[in-house]
């Protein structure tokens, strides 16, 4: 069965990369974290960085047959570019007047 979404670029990889880029800018590139899922009760996934989680997302899209590798690579880059643009233009610190 053909998935009902476009093959290129991988939107899942892009959205995950954008979120990971923003989170890494706040928590640091090497932040360790664990996530759980309602879809897999009792299963926790641990990561040593946000980029490790994004790599796993991209691999899953390829292994499932939804995307070619280049679609995930480009999606990851696109997501990071969008996050970097948003951080540099929209996500500015609000001054409390004490600066």
Question: How far is CA 67 from its chain centroid?
Answer: 16
Predicted structure pTM score: 0.86
The rounded distance, in Å, linking the Cα atoms of 8 and 22 is 23
pLDDT value, residue 96: 76
Angle at 36 between CA 27 and CA 63, to 5 degrees: 95
Would you list the domain boundaries of the chain? 11-89
Is 61 a residue whose pLDDT tops 70? yes
Is 99 a residue whose pLDDT tops 70? no
Angle at 94 between CA 90 and CA 97, to 5 degrees: 155
pLDDT value, residue 95: 77
The rounded distance, in Å, linking the Cα atoms of 18 and 71 is 15
């Amino acid at each position: 069965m053909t998935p009902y979404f476009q093959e290129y670029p991988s939107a899942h990889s892009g959205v995950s990369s954008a979120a990971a880029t923003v989170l890494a800018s706040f928590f640091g590139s090497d932040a360790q974290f664990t996530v759980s899922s309602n879809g897999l009760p009792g299963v926790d996934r641990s990561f040593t960085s946000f980029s490790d989680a994004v790599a796993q997302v991209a691999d899953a899209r390829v292994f499932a047959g939804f995307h070619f590798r280049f679609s995930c690579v480009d999606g990851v880059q696109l997501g990071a570019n969008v996050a970097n643009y948003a951080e540099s233009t929209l996500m500015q610190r609000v001054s409390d007047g004490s600066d």
